[in-house]
Amino acid sequence: MKAFRVHGEFKMGERWQKFSKEVAANSEEDALEYIYSVFGSRHRVKRRDIVIREVSSLALEDIEDPLVKYLVEREEHGEGKRD
């Protein structure tokens, strides 16, 4: 599992709201899917009203979100995998 930081904007009413969110995902595509899913469920935003400006992969020391850091560290140490 890797960490990604996603920057973009989503339409909230009549204006565009900027966002930056850290995500733990297996790939960049999974990270984008997570962003669309979260903003759709939390803010009732359609996918067409979400504009992704940048997706960047993060090194472990650059992760700011404690949950994302925990998930990435746990995966690196082989924990959390079930047979």
Domain ranges of the chain: 2-76
Among candidates 13, 7, 63, which has minimal Cα distance to 32?
A: 7
Predicted confidence at residue 36, as pLDDT, reads 97
For residue range 22-66, what is the model confidence (pLDDT) as tens digits? 999 999 999 999 999 999 999 999 999 999 999 999 999 999 999
Tokens (6 digits) for 82: 């079930």
Predicted confidence at residue 83, as pLDDT, reads 46
Predicted confidence at residue 81, as pLDDT, reads 57
Which one is the CATH code of 2-76: 2.40.30.170, 3.20.20.20, 3.10.20.10, 3.40.50.720? 3.10.20.10
SS3 call for 65 = coil
> What residue ranges in 1-83 does DSSP mark as E strands?
2-12, 15-25, 50-58
